[in-house]
């Protein structure tokens, strides 16, 4: 039995109060779920001249070399958003406050300003979704030296580490939250809390510890 079958059994079978009771225990709190099979890609909204994730080097895919990142936007109400970045090998999270609105240029300018503060050896590639915020991806690569790889349309599992992190972030920033109300300092505090949690996948080290060790080994 696949995980999709289990999810659909939870969303389809319960009725009335029982359904609401079950939803309380789901991290996303969604009352409706659509299987991936119905989300067929139609080719709309794809970025021009983008490098597909299929061209991403093997060292990024298997997490063997640190410095490969995944990213996306976490959206709030009132056209607010923040950028979320996760380093694949250490699971380190970086949150970036964005200006209000969905224009590519100011969003990428804020993202660039943050990325250039990271250790150079820890900035090798970035895997991103098909969002229009990456319309100026070529200039972003020039400004940061960070090669961008774009996921296939409607394929969030291709940046699964970032997707899982965004799910954790919804515990701090539920849907409908105005993200403009939070300062960069407050976002940094949330990221520090996530980065300080020991992870089983890291041998019970925290992302912060693992990231620091990777910097020391590549310096």
What's the pLDDT tens digit per position in 196-209? Answer: 999 999 999 999 99
pTM here is 0.78
Secondary structure of residue 198 in the 3-state scheme: coil
Please give the share of the chain, as a percent, with pLDDT higher than 90: 58
Domain spanning 53-218: which superfamily?
Ribonuclease H-like superfamily/Ribonuclease H (3.30.420.10)
The mean-pLDDT minimum among 24-38, 126-140, 141-155, 158-172 falls in 24-38
Three-state SS string over 16-65 comes to HHHHHHHHCCCCCCCCCCCCHHHCCCCCCCCCCCCCEHHHCCHHHHCCCC
Confidence of residue 40 (pLDDT cuts 50, 70, 90): very low
In this predicted structure, the answer to whether residue 45 has a pLDDT above a threshold of 60 is no
Q: Which pLDDT does position 46 carry in this prediction?
A: 61
Q: Can you tell me the mean pLDDT for 9-24?
A: 56
| Residues 129/31, Cβ–Cβ less than 8 Å | no
For residues 3 and 38, which has the higher predicted lDDT (pLDDT)? 3
pLDDT at 49: 82
CA dihedral 141, 151, 161, 171 (to 10 degrees): 100
- Give the contacts of 141 (CB within 8 A, at least 6 positions apart): 147, 148
Taking only the tens place, the pLDDT of each residue in 94-108 is: 999 998 766 788 889
Q: With 0-12 CB in 10 A as exposed, 13-18 as middle and 19+ as buried, what is 171? A: exposed
From-to residues of CATH 3.30.420.10 in the chain: 53-218
């Amino acid at each position: 039995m696949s995980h999709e079958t289990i999810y659909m059994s939870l969303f389809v079978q319960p009725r009335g109060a029982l359904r609401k009771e079950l939803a309380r225990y789901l991290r996303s709190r969604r009352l409706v779920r659509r299987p991936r099979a119905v989300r067929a890609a139609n080719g709309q909204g794809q970025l021009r001249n983008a490098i597909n994730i299929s061209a991403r080097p093997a060292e990024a895919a298997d997490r063997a070399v640190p410095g490969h990142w995944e990213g996306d936007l976490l959206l709030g109400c009132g056209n607010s958003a923040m950028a979320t970045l996760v380093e694949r090998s250490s699971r380190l999270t970086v949150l970036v406050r964005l200006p209000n609105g969905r224009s590519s240029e100011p969003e990428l300018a804020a993202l660039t300003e943050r990325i250039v503060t990271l250790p150079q050896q820890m900035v090798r590639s970035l895997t991103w979704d098909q969002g229009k915020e990456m319309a100026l991806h070529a200039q972003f690569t020039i400004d940061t030296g960070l090669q961008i790889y774009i996921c296939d349309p409607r394929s969030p599992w291709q940046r699964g580490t970032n997707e899982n992190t965004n799910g954790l972030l919804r515990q701090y920033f539920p849907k409908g939250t105005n993200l403009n109300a939070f300062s960069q300092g407050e976002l940094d505090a949330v990221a520090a809390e996530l980065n300080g949690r020991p992870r089983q996948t890291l041998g019970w080290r925290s992302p912060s510890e693992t990231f620091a060790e990777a910097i020391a080994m590549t310096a």
